Structure 1
Amino acid sequence: MTVATRTGRIDLVRGGAAQEFTVTLRNGNTQGYAHLRLAFQMEILIDGTPANERPPSDGFALERWDAGAGVWRGAELRIANDVMPHHLYGGGTPLARDAVRTERYRLRAGPSGPVGSTPLIVSLINPDAPAGASAGEARPASFSLPHTTRRK
């Protein structure tokens, strides 16, 4: 799995434009997967914003490009300081042996919410792996994309 932006990082301004990135999955020739799911997570930004003033998802919005429909659609972004176990994720799409797939995403910082730096963690989840599976079987790939959000 590779995650790429034009600059190698995501730099956002509260209330400003979204920044695009791509996620490319390249499967080898060992096995195909019946279900793989991308999971996106950022840790909570600590900047002195009172808890009761923090918007849902800390004011961030993640979207995935739906090429078939020609529109951006909302995607799940988890804001948390822990890791969700792989077996709690459902869904996913197949990835055959020797297959390559690239998906487009964009992240936006709404006008309100905390500012600071924390990576956007992109994990490839295998929801079919058993509950006691090794980290490599449950999460075949993970990538940490540097991210900073600031005010105008």
Structure 2
Amino acid sequence: MAFATEAKADSCMHLYYAKGFAVEYFPEYKRLTIHNPWGGKSAVYYLYRHQKPENLPEDAQAIQIPLNTIATTSCTHIGFLDRLGLLASVKGSCNLSMVYHPEFRKKAAASLVVDLGDNYSINAEKTLSLQVDALIWSGYGQQDA
């Protein structure tokens, strides 16, 4: 069986405006490539729905979708997540005092969202204790981005 890096995609999402990523469709998964805006190595993720495909590379970053729980390191993500209808999935975020989204502030006031600290020095223990499906991390201002 060929590894995904050797496999040909059934189709590819054609993007008109966004340039920071590419999505390729395979029978058992989608390959999401996120390009580093600062010119470094791209990140590749393999998204699957039910059972992890056996034909992925051994070192593949495989993610089962849909995601049920999310944490984020930037309050700027909250508006985007709301627009996607995913605000209920957010279990943790950095700098809660800087979030001005009314619905999210209600969640935070009701202790339905955990404050993960400052986005430049995230509280790793709190983040790991949430056991979320994904952590959305902002590369802005990172030295190794």
> Into which bin does the TM-score normalised by the smaller protein fall?
under 0.3
Query: Which has a greater percent of helix?
Result: 2
State the structure with more CA Rg: 2
Asked which structure has the greater RCO (Cα within 8 Å, sep 6+), the reply is 1
Provide TM-score, normalisation by structure 1.
Answer: 0.25
TM-score (norm 2): 0.26
